[in-house]
Structure 1
Amino acid sequence: MVGFRARRGRRAACLALLVSVGMPAVPGFAQEMNVLQAPAGMEPVHAPALPAGSGQADGPRSIVPPGYGATTPASGLSSPDMQAVSPAVPSQLFPTGRQSSEPAVRVLSAVPGGERSDIEIGTLSGVDTSSVGLVGLRDGGFGPTMWQGASRADIETYLVRMPVATGSPVMNDLAQRLLLTGARPPEGAGRGVPLLAARLNRLLAAGRADEALQLAMAGGAARAPQVAVELARAALAAGDDNRACAALADIPPGNDPERNDMAAFAVKLSAYCQIVAGNPEIANLTLDLAREEGLNDALFFSLAGQAAAGITLRAPEPNTLSIIDAAFYRLAGRDLPDNVAEIAEPALLPGLLRDGELKDEVRLAVAERAARYDLIDGRELATYYKMPRFTDEQMAGLLTSDIPEASPMRRAMIHQAIGAAVAADDRIRLFKLAFATGETAGLYYPTVEALYDELAGMTPSDALRPMAPAATRAFLAIGERSKAAEWLSVMNAAPGLGRDGRELAALMRISGGALAAFDSEGVSAEIIADLRSGERRAQIFAACEAMLLDALGLSPTPAVWEALLDARNALPGDAPSEALLGQLQMAGHKKAIGETVLLTLDVLGLGGPGAAHPRAAAQATASLKAVDLESEARRLALEALLARSFAGRG
């Protein structure tokens, strides 16, 4: 090893050992092993002649140990074209220090001082897979020209930070459709981020591992390293170890797992695949190399050590549970943290729901979080609410129970109590309690869906008038405007609708379910009265209502804008930059549907329409309407105004 520093020399020595013949199957060793398998159809340059009597057939020669790349029958990833290396002619490759003229190609040489020539192996680059998708126009996609008129640099910038799993039904729907739509990539120079990789990353952040895996596989066999990483993460989250380990072939080597996220992931995935393939000794070498290279992840070393050698090392509990962490928990046979429902990456949630080992309370918390992100619907959430078993004493003492009010188990108790309640007063009280606790937990929409059958089974009547505001609000939230109108008519039959009646009528207008033609003068008078009332809640509601009506083309009178100017200090939060709002407005004007949707999500942010500044919500509504997404614009406006309304919450 003359000429190599001790640290690099040890890496090279370990690598030479692992590529020598006679080692067991290793589906992906650390980082350098990724470059030891040339892409299909690629031949080494300057291939040396084989010694006579080597026993090797003519043609391409494997430079990896027998079984590498999951050639064992049990792996399911056999490569019949791979041939075993003769024990008499081991291939030991080392970095040459010479750079290839082609991108994504790693130059390796034989043992320093040896007779074999250099070879160049790697992955082909320059293939744009951005256009692949899973949905078309008929499936709710935005069409193959959705990026027309947009700058690639802008799309890359906003795509990598696109908010997902927001708790807003309309935003979650728009995000999923945008990410899954197959479309021609935008024009112009990019910033080096493959659009497909960014889309896969956002799908995983939204909890949609299955869709991410399908999209990654649709991208073809020539994958950029960033795409390969996201494919591997999606496969792990979906429980597909074979595809996860196969992705290592497209992840380039890296020498700095301490600072480089891709290098760190490659090391962890390599160790995982080695253990899965039944090669714990090789995995231990990978762990040694990772420590030597400065990887600082006590949890990884603890889990990998337990999985590879049965050694239990102390490690702090994680603050977040990544996809690769969860894979090692499973491999090590270690129980997941008690707070897994709160700290797990969203992509892990569907798998956790299928985990029969979870306690009822943990499973229920996972189900609620999955429902918040629209990974399951409210009716499926209802099945989880029915799973826990409570004693008669617990159910009888629901309001005085020692189960915390914010607990998922408390919400399950309320749900079960509604199904068992007979008296009208009890049902009204329990419905209101369910809606209130659900809204506090960010679960209002799933809660309404979960209770839909019970709610729809109640016939609006004078006897149920106390239920009318909550029922009207609930049906509006899920788009059942006709049922909302039935309950609102019960309120209209009684004198003095009060504040609830004022706000619910406004919500009906915004949703598109107005009972009469838009009365600009009458509505404007109500808005002006609220703006001049001095009541902050009324001012916020009225300001948001005025802006959203204008965005939908239902313009209030000019006097409204004068009153709004006087009450402008009542508007909550900080408005987005004028430049961003202007870009969103321009995207709508030029009918750039993909850019409009992407900028809408960016402007609204993780808080969604209900937490965004009214100007942001109004511009997003107007721009969606401008690109003919009328239904989505209405839903967004309704979410924004519903969050500012206190009608039906009492």
Structure 2
Amino acid sequence: MTSFRVKSEGRFVAAGCALIALFALIGAPVIAQEANMLQAPAGMKPSGSVPESLKSDSSSATLAPADETGPRRIVPPGYGATTPSSGMPQAEEPAGPSQFFPAGKRASEPSVRMLSAVPGQDNSGIQIGTLTGVDASTAGLISEQQGGLGADMWQGASRADIDRYLSRLPVPVRSPVMNDLARRLLLTGAQPPEGASGGVSLLAIRLNRLIAAGQTQAALDLGAAAGNERSPAVAAGIARAALAQGDDRLACDALKDIPPGNDPAHDAMAAFSVKLSAYCQIAAGNTEIASLTLDLAREEGMDDALFYSLASEAAAGITLRAPEPNKLTIVDTAFYRLADRELPENAVEIVEPALLQSMLADPSVSDEMKVAAAERAAAYGLLDGRDLAAYYRKPSFTPEQMAGLLTSDIPESSSLRRAMIFQSIGMAAAADERIHLFKLAFATAESAGLYYPTVEALYPELDRMVPSDALRPLAPAAVRAFIAIGERSRAQDWLSLISSGGQMLGRDARELTGLMRVSGGSPQSFDSEKASAEIVSDLKSGVRATQLYAASEAMMLEALGFQLTPAVWDALLDARGALTGDVPPEALLNRLQASGQKNAIGETVLLSLDAIGQKGPGAVHPRASAQAVASLKAVNLESEARRLALEALMARSNAGRG
């Protein structure tokens, strides 16, 4: 298990001494063209004891790795398809030189695990394991029956296009359904698309995006399922995932497949090789060779003050001055651990998502920091609401703090305040107090981007509450929460509290009814005239927030196949100035529409993720969300399309937030 020390205050010490290259240890001329300068010569033994985690036994082996008529429509706009582009032929990747570090022990078959389900979706977890009988290009962990997108998901797509879009896949996403789709896309075993690649293996791209999403164990499982043949990019991905998991032996074993390179100052792979070589040399106790590696890296012009500071402290006990980092990579934190140096106070905010799980499992990390790490992991879909609830229960608060919740000196927007609110709900008995705390919990969670996991965390408490007149002020927030969790019948029970004499009253009722339509209404039983009249009235209100909600509702309904009257589109054209959000390139939306039309499921999911972006459907223009919804529906991902439409509309709704 990875263990970190968390810094309580800055304490970098300046040292005026430089490390000296110990060429005498080599016992042979040093010629850059004839030897890998970042690896020890054959037969070299570590100067110190080898940690138990890095020893190999005698049985060790390499790890197996248009024109329109009638009303003018807004969505879908009728984009045209684009012509697939072609890429350059893939070059043969050189094999890495032999490495002095002992090979890793063959890993056992990965166990079957459950990935987090989309909130509110019964039986929507994904079981993953190793699929046998595949080569590296088709390796996967889930079949179509296990939630995968199908072995032919890339049919009809261009390899060069898929490489380009997959390499920039925006993960993790601030959207439960899009995170779920991204995982399934990356874990599905499928035949690669036709055409020449851009020079990087599809497996390597998938590994890197899994790591970026925080799914390091899945990345290791996928690497193992791919077999023994590893390109340098695949080996580097496995090494990064192993470092994040605290598996030094597996990480260092990958070095044999990573060439050292000759320009670490400008070549990212060469720089990674330098850093991993130094790490493994120090971890094996061979600090003299590590010092040589650091000096050679300096001579090559590699500029990374934090790396030199940490590596020097780990290798020789010398602490060099370095600026406080504004982000922490997997390699950075590995060197912090090796140097036994405390992580910065803001480590939770600046570490890669791949390291959050390790921080949660580390007993040296405080409960306060674990709450913050759990929130960030939950926002990225790495932790479900039930687990978030467990971390919210960890901090201890004084009776005075709990009694003075609203006047507490704990910052209102902090993770500790949200933990305190969560604990207070469990202790509150009076109806008015519980109403206030629930509304406060949902409101603070929404502003922090934690609404969906918070609803899951509070579900047991909310589920025990029976709708009644005394709880009427909670009704809008309860309806919103039950819609979010996918329990429409419970949402309808609470929605009835907002009615009076059979007539629905207020803005909350109007928007919550719209959310109910999108979340599970049927196009066949849809009252087009009534819904269209409500939307037109909102669009003509002149209130920008109301117009934005109505425009989003119209677009999501249209994308899901609901028919609205022509008056809606006329009103929407007049109110189009109220629409906000990031607008993806027109070419991307064109391609997304075309991919849905030709039933290219993998390409559709990939382009939908690109169009929605890392900030989620609440940050993009409703037109982009609607096109993604329409295209996902076209490739028979109906429930995912519904969920995305609901998330997009909830982001524009103020119902239940007050």
- Smaller-chain TM-score bracket: 0.7 to 0.9
Aligned to 2:182: 175
Of 559, 565, 576, 1:557 maps to 565
Q: What's the offset of the Cα at 1:193?
A: 2.1
Aligned to 1:617: 625
Aligned to 1:626: 634
- The answer on whether the counterparts of 2:97 and 2:259 sit within 8 Å (CA) in structure 1 is no
Structure 1's 104 and 566: CA in aligned 2 closer, same or farther, altered over 3 A?
Answer: same
- The answer on whether the counterparts of 1:352 and 1:366 sit within 8 Å (CA) in structure 2 is yes
Q: What's the offset of the Cα at 1:516?
A: 9.7
Structure 1's 505 and 284: CA in aligned 2 closer, same or farther, altered over 3 A?
Answer: same
Structure 1's 428 and 18: CA in aligned 2 closer, same or farther, altered over 3 A?
Answer: farther
Aligned to 1:196: 203
Aligned to 1:501, the other structure's residue is in SS state helix
Q: What's the offset of the Cα at 1:560?
A: 0.8
Q: What's the offset of the Cα at 1:629?
A: 0.4
Aligned to 2:309: 302
Q: Normalised by the size of structure 2, how large is the TM-score?
A: 0.82
Q: Deviations over 1:284-329 (max 9, x none)?
A: 1111111111111111111111111111222111111110111111
Q: What's the offset of the Cα at 1:578?
A: 2.4
Aligned to 2:505: 497
Instruction: Letter of the 1:501 partner, please give it.
Output: A
Measure, in 1, the Cα distance between the counterparts of 2:150 and 2:196. 22
- The answer on whether the counterparts of 1:298 and 1:315 sit within 8 Å (CA) in structure 2 is yes
Does 1:460 find its partner at 2:460? no
Aligned to 1:124: none
Measure, in 2, the Cα distance between the counterparts of 1:163 and 1:407. 26
Instruction: Letter of the 2:596 partner, please give it.
Output: G
Measure, in 1, the Cα distance between the counterparts of 2:563 and 2:348. 45
Query: Within 5 A, what are the aligned runs for 1:340-351?
Result: 340-351=347-358
- The answer on whether the counterparts of 1:31 and 1:266 sit within 8 Å (CA) in structure 2 is no
Does 1:357 find its partner at 2:336? no
- The answer on whether the counterparts of 2:167 and 2:209 sit within 8 Å (CA) in structure 1 is yes
Aligned to 2:448: 441
Aligned to 2:17: none
Measure, in 2, the Cα distance between the counterparts of 1:103 and 1:525. 62
Measure, in 1, the Cα distance between the counterparts of 2:53 and 2:469. 69
- The answer on whether the counterparts of 1:136 and 1:182 sit within 8 Å (CA) in structure 2 is yes
Q: What's the offset of the Cα at 1:419?
A: 0.4
Does 1:75 find its partner at 2:54? yes
Does 1:450 find its partner at 2:437? no
Aligned to 1:637, the other structure's residue is in SS state helix
- The answer on whether the counterparts of 2:50 and 2:283 sit within 8 Å (CA) in structure 1 is no
Measure, in 1, the Cα distance between the counterparts of 2:36 and 2:490. 60
Q: Deviations over 1:412-461 (max 9, x none)?
A: 11001000000000000000000000011100001111100000000011
Instruction: Letter of the 2:589 partner, please give it.
Output: L
Q: What's the offset of the Cα at 1:576?
A: 2.1
Instruction: Letter of the 1:583 partner, please give it.
Output: R
Measure, in 2, the Cα distance between the counterparts of 1:635 and 1:472. 16
Q: What's the offset of the Cα at 1:275?
A: 1.2
Q: What's the offset of the Cα at 1:195?
A: 1.0
Larger deviation, residues 577-586 vs 431-440: 577-586
Structure 1's 107 and 216: CA in aligned 2 closer, same or farther, altered over 3 A?
Answer: closer
Aligned to 1:215: 222
- The answer on whether the counterparts of 2:523 and 2:561 sit within 8 Å (CA) in structure 1 is no
Structure 1's 337 and 30: CA in aligned 2 closer, same or farther, altered over 3 A?
Answer: farther
Q: Structure 1 stretches of 5 or more lacking a match?
A: 1-9, 21-28, 37-62, 83-100, 109-126
- The answer on whether the counterparts of 2:274 and 2:293 sit within 8 Å (CA) in structure 1 is yes
Aligned to 2:553: 545
Q: What's the offset of the Cα at 1:514?
A: 6.7
Q: What's the offset of the Cα at 1:15?
A: 9.5
Measure, in 2, the Cα distance between the counterparts of 1:337 and 1:306. 16
Structure with more contact order per residue of length (Cα contacts < 8 Å, sep ≥ 6): 2
Structure 1's 425 and 257: CA in aligned 2 closer, same or farther, altered over 3 A?
Answer: same
Aligned to 1:586: 594
Q: Deviations over 1:47-69 (max 9, x none)?
A: xxxxxxxxxxxxxxxx554689x
Measure, in 2, the Cα distance between the counterparts of 1:441 and 1:371. 11
- The answer on whether the counterparts of 2:313 and 2:320 sit within 8 Å (CA) in structure 1 is yes
Q: Deviations over 1:157-203 (max 9, x none)?
A: 10011111122000100001100111000001121121111111111
Of 306, 324, 328, 2:335 maps to 328
Of 549, 569, 578, 1:570 maps to 578
Aligned to 2:271: 264
Measure, in 2, the Cα distance between the counterparts of 1:15 and 1:502. 78
Q: What's the offset of the Cα at 1:32?
A: 4.9
Higher-Rg member (1/2): 1
Structure 1's 31 and 388: CA in aligned 2 closer, same or farther, altered over 3 A?
Answer: farther
Does 1:233 find its partner at 2:212? no
Instruction: Letter of the 1:203 partner, please give it.
Output: L
- The answer on whether the counterparts of 2:306 and 2:322 sit within 8 Å (CA) in structure 1 is yes
Instruction: Letter of the 2:94 partner, please give it.
Output: A
Which 4+ residue blocks in structure 1 deviate beyond 6 angstroms? 10-15, 70-74, 79-82
Structure 1's 397 and 569: CA in aligned 2 closer, same or farther, altered over 3 A?
Answer: same
Does 1:603 find its partner at 2:611? yes
Query: Within 5 A, what are the aligned runs for 1:143-154?
Result: 143-154=150-161
Q: Deviations over 1:490-516 (max 9, x none)?
A: 222465521100000000000014799
Aligned to 1:451, the other structure's residue is in SS state helix
Measure, in 2, the Cα distance between the counterparts of 1:160 and 1:222. 21
Does 1:244 find its partner at 2:251? yes
Instruction: Letter of the 1:619 partner, please give it.
Output: Q
Structure 1's 535 and 30: CA in aligned 2 closer, same or farther, altered over 3 A?
Answer: farther
- The answer on whether the counterparts of 1:372 and 1:442 sit within 8 Å (CA) in structure 2 is yes
Measure, in 1, the Cα distance between the counterparts of 2:92 and 2:157. 30
Does 1:523 find its partner at 2:531? yes
Measure, in 1, the Cα distance between the counterparts of 2:535 and 2:174. 29
Aligned to 1:406, the other structure's residue is in SS state coil
Instruction: Letter of the 1:370 partner, please give it.
Output: A
- The answer on whether the counterparts of 2:214 and 2:352 sit within 8 Å (CA) in structure 1 is yes
Larger deviation, residues 370-379 vs 70-79: 70-79
Measure, in 2, the Cα distance between the counterparts of 1:107 and 1:414. 57
What is the total number of aligned residue pairs between the two structures?
569
Structure 1's 472 and 107: CA in aligned 2 closer, same or farther, altered over 3 A?
Answer: closer
Q: Normalised by the size of structure 1, how large is the TM-score?
A: 0.83
Q: Percent identity?
A: 64
